[in-house]
Structure 1
Amino acid sequence: MAHSFADITPPIALTPLDGRYRAQAAPLVDHLSEAALNRCRLVVETEWMIHLLDGGVIPGLRTLTDEERALLRAIPEDFGAEGIAEHAEIERETVHDVKAIEYYIKRRLAGTSLEPLSEVVHIYCTSEDVNNLSYALMIRGAVHDVWLPAFQALVDDLEALARDTAEVPMLSRTHGQPATPTTLGKEIAVFAHRLGRQARRIPANQTLGKINGATGTYAAHAVAVPTADWEEVARTFVEHLGLTWNPLTTQIESHDWQAEVYADVARAGRIMHNLATDVWTYISLGYFRQRLSAQGGTGSSTMPHKVNPIRFENAEANLEISGALLDVLAQTLVTTRLQRDLTDSSSQRNVGMAFGHSLLAISNLRKGLAGLDVDPDAMAADLEANWEVLGEAVQSVMRTLGVQGVPGLDNPYERLKDLTRGQRVDGAGMRAFIEGLGLPEAERDRLLALSPATYTGYAARLVERLEDGKA
């Protein structure tokens, strides 16, 4: 009988993010893992205790000493492997993860000068007071400290590639058909510009939090200490954590801000997906050559001539998974039944997967781009084989002259259509057509000087707009 992998120690990873792709996703563990959630809960609980005591909120209780404040803040700082195991042991007894956090803190206060004040831990709080603030800290950290730097690095890579190839002419394809030429750099700059907008948009999202009790009414607070301004206490505490105070909630913070972040990250992912498919297509057209050393040791298991564009294909797949998860989270988290249900708790535990697949995709895109060499000769050959794309230029000049009253230039579109549609036109054929139009000398010479490689308009200079986009 085959071995059961479930019995192997250390445990076998169920998902690729914790197995095959662990190295790429690992930076998120400090922010979006279960251990990170419990560390943030410890931060919220200990800071709440400090806030209440140092603020003199509860009459008759003393303020903290510097040593006591340091003791409390050391609890989350020291939360490591042993602490994770101890919390899990407590949770097996409480069958409640936040209550286990409360007991974990009280164990550390035992035998210290804070033991007489240990009942201040978690006072006036419902679990969601602690959880919403913890998730806010986690998601903000994951986005700002891990995801955004990786995303910005991709944008920087694209901007550098755009500038390096700003003047490399390339045949465009609209609807998959040869179209007005461009430059490779301009097309890469379009993606850099699109993604750069998202990189600037995402940090502007607010990260909201609340600490107002079981149904958002401060009922327990007000009845226990009616002299305190509990809204002000809550506001200053939430802002002390670096978050934006949400003054009006049910038991849960409404999670709308999370949905906004996930929508933005998902949108950025869809733009990256577009980048991956376009670069994949350029590789298939021969516009890019792949260096085998940058893509992996083996190109194809059976066809030794091939170097497969696996980085871009991997990015596609992971962005699709990430986008689907982010969409589900954004949809689920903005809805709760009446004042509270638990669907958000289960959903939020998957935020790490959503960001993990996105981070993995960004890593693959960057590695894929780093392993490409531009092949300007292949692009030049493609342009030379498609002189018919100058039909747009010729008929545009004819139309301009026609409306200016120059005779003999009737039906320019139709005449170019007869020449070019459904058939190849070489340089000699296009020049012969231009010579036979009877154009004024200046326009004739300008068109005769054109080739598909030079008919790129402002493409090269448009790359400079990348700087404008940052203004």
Structure 2
Amino acid sequence: MKDLFEPVCPLDFRYGRDKMKRILSHPARVRNILKVEAALLEELAEEGLVPPEAAQEVREKATLEHVSLKRVEEIEGEIRHDLMAVVKALTEVCRGDAGRYIHLGVTSYDIIDTAIALQLKDALDVIEEDLKGLIVELARKAKEHRETPMIGRTHGQHAVPITLGLKLSVWTAEFLRHLKRLEEAKARVLVGKMSGATGTGAALKALGVEDTVEFERRLLEKLGLGREEGSTQIVQRDRFNELISLMANISTTVEKVATEIRTLQRTEIGELYEVFDVKSQVGSSTMAHKRNPITLENITGLARMVRANLTPTFESSIQWNERDLANSSAERFTIPHTLILTDDILVKLKGAIGSLGVDRERMLKNLYLTKGAVMAEALMIELVKKGYGRQEAHEVVRRIAMRAQERDQHMLDAALKDGVVGKLFGREELAEILDPLHYIGDSARRCDEVIGLVEKSLGVRI
């Protein structure tokens, strides 16, 4: 008979780090539910509505050392209600009459959504740590290559020269913005609620809580969370939409970087490459010469899975009236899977950047591959400086470039034979103008600017 508990989801055995999995695991969810239930009773005790000794007993027993996950599962199998299964299991282990006060004055999602927020708090701390580590790695690599020349590409074709440092600094700045977005989003995402079945706080009010808003605020502040100002039975899901959208945005940048490196590792380009263990690593089962960028390809696929969670997340925010249960099953996938995979690809990309292979000679060779054609813009600028209008100069250079490409001729030779350019510039001067190494602009300075932003934002020295 097939073992029903054999792993099915690749997160169980292939992808994701244990650190993040522990935070978002089922035991962690139950642990946080217990924590919130205990916090509720402590707050009720402060209001004089629950005996302090009962609150203390619940606090001591609201741990997985006392509440068995197996017992929770057994109870849920009987009553078909996950939260009440935890409440009943906790009640069973409490001495005296302490259990009679558990879950008093609240509804399931007061506890569940607040417990989810506690999980998210820990998970986003890890994502923040990941982003900072990746940003520093990118900034260090950018500084190392701030003056390393390479060809820039647009539409898949050679454009004008840049430096590798500039390319890396573009990615660095983008991740720095993601870090800022994460910091801003925390205040909106890390919120709980304790306002009852339809968000009125009626049960707590009837119980004797004079100001249910302040009661809720105090309780959540002690848990390190914000408060849902306008709740129904649940925390409003625009907050989760923002969270998953941010992870999707981050995953897009991760994939963008991975794809760019993979593109530049193509055999015919060969400028950047993912490290390959030539002693033991196998690239292909049949093509023994292959050195495939498998980590970057892995990152690419997982980034797409992160973004795949956008649709069910947004659809889960649409609820009937003050709530239904259609969000619950989907969120058990979307939230942990999104965060586990985002953490995974950020850490993998950091490793790939730290060990990134750079072929400077190939970069130089590719700079000269078009026989000077990539310097057409530079020549146009020099014609303008000689008095030609910009449009006129552009047309002159365009004709020269097209002619040179048709005849497989160097741009220098084609320009010298041109009736306009040949009269204005000598060979030596024109060779200087058409040298790609003299046309990288302020690449290094722009790279330094981003590095400076990193140092200022993170308080580090690159």
Fold shared per TM-score above 0.5: yes
Rounded Cα–Cα distance in structure 2 between residues aligned with 1:410 and 1:224: 80
Q: Give ranges in structure 2 of 5+ residues lacking alignment.
A: 457-462
Q: CA deviation at 1:468?
A: 4.2
Match of 1:85 among 22, 47, 70: 70
1:17 corresponds to:
11
SS at match of 1:182: strand
Matches within 5 A, 1:387-426: 387-402=372-387, 411-421=392-402, 422-423=405-406, 424-426=408-410
Deviation readout 1:336-370 (Å, 9 max, x if unpaired): 11011001211220111122222332233233334
Q: 2:150: which partner in 1?
A: 170
Residue 32 of structure 1 is matched in structure 2 by: 24
Residue 462 in structure 1 maps to residue 446 in structure 2: yes
Structure-2 change in CA distance of 1:75 and 1:463 (3 Å): farther
Residue of structure 1 equivalent to 2:460: none
**2:38 corresponds to 1:46:** yes
| Aligned position for 2:168 | 188
Q: Which residue of 2 aligns with 1:131?
A: 112
Give how far 1:449 is off: 5.5
CA distance in 2, matches of 1:246, 1:240: 15
Secondary structure of 1:293 counterpart? coil
Structure 1 counterpart of 2:345, from 357, 361, 367: 361
Unaligned runs of 5+ in 1: none
Report whether the alignment pairs 1:344 with 2:338. no
Q: Which amino acid aligns with 2:31?
A: R
Looking at structure 1, the residues matched to 221 and 344 of structure 2 have their Cα atoms a distance apart, in angstroms, of 33
Look up the SS of the partner of 2:68 in the other structure.
helix
Aligned to 2:261: 279
Name the CA distance, whole Å, in 2 between partners of 1:166 and 1:270.
Answer: 25
Structure 2 counterpart of 1:199: 179
Checking the alignment, whether the CA contact within 8 Å between 1:209 and 1:245 is kept in structure 2 is: yes
Distance 1:78 1:295, change over 3 A: farther
Q: Is the 8 A contact 1:202 1:265 kept in 2?
A: no
Aligned counterparts of 2:280 and 2:348: Cα–Cα separation in 1: 12
Q: Post-superposition shift, 1:280?
A: 0.4
Q: CA deviation at 1:294?
A: 8.6
User: Relative to structure 1, is the Cα distance of residues 289 and 316 closer, same or farther in structure 2, using a 3 angstrom cutoff?
Assistant: closer
Q: Could you tell me how far 1:314 is from its partner in structure 2?
A: 0.8
Q: For the Cα contact (< 8 Å) 1:295–1:309, is it kept in 2?
A: no
8 Å Cα contact 1:39-1:79 kept in structure 2 = no
- Deviation at residue 15 of structure 1 after TM alignment: 1.1
Say which SS state the counterpart of residue 188 (structure 1) adopts: helix
Partner secondary structure for residue 402 of structure 1? coil
Q: 2:47 aligns with which of 41, 49, 56?
A: 56
1:142 aligns with 2:123: yes
Deviation at 1:260, TM superposition (A): 1.1
Distance 2:211 2:421 in 1: 88
Asked if 2 retains the 8 angstrom alpha-carbon contact of 1:50 and 1:64, the reply is: no
* TM-superposition CA deviations, 1:10-54 (whole Å, max 9, x none): x32101110223xx332222222222211110010011111110x
1:108 to 79, 83, 93: 93
1:209 aligns with 2:192: yes
Shift of residue 290, structure 1, vs aligned partner: 4.0
> Of 229, 252, 261, which aligns to 1:247?
229
Instruction: Tell me how far apart the structure 2 counterparts of residues 301 and 98 of structure 1 sit (CA, whole Å).
Output: 49
Q: Percent identity?
A: 25
Distance, in Å, in 2 between the alignment partners of 1:320 and 1:295 is 32
Return closer, same or farther for 1:465/1:79 CA change in 2, 3 Å cut-off.
Answer: farther
CA contact (8 A) 1:260 1:330 kept: no
Once the 2 structures are TM-superposed, how far is the Cα of residue 329 of structure 1 from its aligned partner? 4.2
- SS of equivalent to 2:158: strand
1:305 and 1:398 map into 2 onto residues whose CA distance is: 49
Question: CA 1:294/1:78 → structure 2, altered by over 3 Å: closer, same or farther?
Answer: farther
Aligned-pair Cα RMSD in Å: 2.7
Q: Which residue of 2 aligns with 1:7?
A: 3
- Aligned residues of 2:302 and 2:345 also touching (Cα < 8 A): yes
Deviation (angstroms), 1:333: 3.3
- Counterpart Cα distance in 1 of 2:414 and 2:443: 23
CA contact (8 A) 2:33 2:115 kept: yes
Deviations 1:284-334 (A, max 9, x none): 110024432299711122122210011111111000011111x12431232
2:61–2:94 contact (8 Å) kept in structure 1:
no
> Counterpart of 1:347 in structure 2: which amino acid?
A
Q: In structure 2, what is the equivalent of residue 306 of structure 1? A: 290
Instruction: Give the CA deviation at 1:448.
Output: 2.2
Q: 1:262 to 1:361 in 2, by over 3 A?
A: same
Answer yes or no: is the 8 Å Cα contact 1:124–1:213 preserved in 2: yes
How many residues align? The count is 444
TM-score (norm 2): 0.88
Aligned with residue 318 of structure 1, among 299, 302, 305: 302
In structure 1, distance between residues paired with 2:261 and 2:13: 28
Change (3 A) 1:221 1:447: same
Distance in 2 of aligned mates of 1:382 and 1:166: 18
* Distance in 1 separating the partners of 2:60 and 2:414: 78
Q: Secondary structure at 2:436's aligned position in 1?
A: coil
SS in 2 for 1:124: coil
